[in-house]
Structure 1
Amino acid sequence: MTGKTMMTLAALVLAAAPAAAQVPASPFSLEVRGRAAYPTGDFGEEDETGSGVETGWGGSVAGHFQVTPVLSVYGGYSFTRFPTDLGDLEAELEALGIDDASIDIDDTGFDAGLRAMVPAGGGSAFLRGGLVYHRADVQLSDDLEDAIGGILDPDELDSDWSLGWQAGAGLLLPLGPRLSASLGASYTSYEPRFGDDSGEFEVSGESDLTYASIEVGLEFRP
């Protein structure tokens, strides 16, 4: 074997080494996010008694599948709890002997959509948007549930499932070869419907459940 042939082989090995050492990135990733949620629109307004929905908290988990270097599809599950301020109603309930009166609104359901990413500095900027399939569950304190138990079934305060939409944007910052931190904001909107199948107690379109969120999370790519 001539020296020229050996040099050619050595050059080919050196050229192939970086590609062989590079582990192909998985198209799958798992993201876990926490959020602070701020009610907006009619959902965030106080009524004449001074009662209203306060800032909520929650989280979500989502799986991503990378379709192209820029675009991925995602699907997941989310939970957000909104406490309420009962305003003047709290004093009225205490006068009736209901000392521990509280109401929370739980927004739960499934999310699915698309996420587009572009390089930004040392990380990536992203836009995402899609559909939500959510419901609103009204959670009463034990004292309040006992007080109304003979008048109204608390389960009737839970809505049916409804379609809505969600959009968001943010940054994905690498922490290591497979782990990234995410920071972003999103907006969620859907119309919960309450009552029986006949729609007798259906809530009008003015009752849209809408909120803006600030989110932080971690994304792991196996």
Structure 2
Amino acid sequence: MKQIKIIMISILFLGSTLEAQNKWSAEFRPGINFPAEDFKGSNIETGFGFEVTVGYRFMEHLHTYLGWGNNTFSIEDSNMDFEENGYTFGLQFIHPLWISEDLSYLFRLGAIYNHLKLEDVNGELIDDSGHGLGWQIETGLDYVIGSNWSLRPSLRYRSLSRDIDVIQNQTISMDLNYLSFGLGVSKSF
């Protein structure tokens, strides 16, 4: 009788351990950013950045995610650059495609809590907008390459509005809207 209890407890423990595997994921996503509009008469050049996120699968195809990212843009014909960085969080839906069990589509909808830093060419801070809320939407693919590793090419649209003091307390409202193409590398555990 004691052996049966031990076996039952072992089966329950093993079953719950197996079910809990691969609920967490970590992703590193470098990207190239294409601004959707100009900045007060100046052209914003293509930007570059990266993001690091951690995700948790709480339903079969539904995950939450939380992360931090940094994106840098130059302003054409100007001695200024700006940097957007801060936090991202939201929900992601990953569902296998009928083509292959290793290929899934990915959809994310979330918020960002970022700030904009305006800097001169020497990297000296001109102004920091302070953190504020924005939003993002993303779609892409999740391709399993083995041993719980995935490649995640995706296209994202991100929007953030903040006020910045440029010269002698002249405040301008800056709307940063851009498309970002990234290639994430993800590990689930």
User: For the superposition of Structure 1 and Structure 2, which TM-score range results when normalised by the shorter chain?
Assistant: 0.7 to 0.9
Contact 2:38–2:44 under 8 Å retained in 1: no
Give the corresponding residue for 1:158.
128
Contact 2:29–2:184 under 8 Å retained in 1: yes
Q: Which has the higher strand share?
A: 2
Contact 1:42–1:208 under 8 Å retained in 2: no
Change (3 A) 1:184 1:83: same
Percent of matched pairs sharing the same residue: 26
Cα deviation for residue 23 of structure 1 reads: 5.1
Q: Which has the higher helix share?
A: 1
* Match for residue 30 of structure 2 among 18, 34, 58: 34
Contact 2:107–2:139 under 8 Å retained in 1: yes
Contact 1:190–1:208 under 8 Å retained in 2: yes
* Match for residue 168 of structure 1 among 126, 138, 143: 138
Aligned length: 169
* Distance (Å, rounded) in 2 between the aligned partners of 1:213 and 1:109: 16
SS across alignment from 1:182: strand
* Distance (Å, rounded) in 2 between the aligned partners of 1:202 and 1:77: 27
* Match for residue 84 of structure 2 among 89, 96, 107: 107
Q: Read off the aligned partner of 1:162 and give its amino acid letter.
A: G
Give the corresponding residue for 1:184.
154
Which deviates the most, 104-113 or 34-43?
Answer: 34-43
Cα deviation for residue 177 of structure 1 reads: 2.5
Which has the higher Rg, Structure 1 or Structure 2?
1
Equivalent positions of 1:183-222 (< 5 A) are: 183-195=153-165, 202-204=171-173, 207-222=174-189
Contact 1:32–1:219 under 8 Å retained in 2: yes
* Match for residue 64 of structure 1 among 52, 55, 70: 55
CA root-mean-square deviation: 2.4
**Any gaps of 5 or more consecutive residues in structure 2?**
1-10
**Any gaps of 5 or more consecutive residues in structure 1?**
1-15, 90-101, 146-153
TM-score (norm 2): 0.81
* Distance (Å, rounded) in 2 between the aligned partners of 1:175 and 1:26: 15
TM-score (norm 1): 0.69
* Distance (Å, rounded) in 1 between the aligned partners of 2:61 and 2:151: 18
* Distance (Å, rounded) in 2 between the aligned partners of 1:103 and 1:201: 16
* Match for residue 136 of structure 1 among 116, 120, 123: 116
Q: Read off the aligned partner of 1:107 and give its amino acid letter.
A: E
SS across alignment from 2:130: coil
Equivalent positions of 1:51-130 (< 5 A) are: 51-86=42-77, 102-120=79-97, 121-122=99-100, 123-130=103-110
Contact 2:71–2:84 under 8 Å retained in 1: yes
Cα deviation for residue 57 of structure 1 reads: 0.5
Give the corresponding residue for 2:5.
none
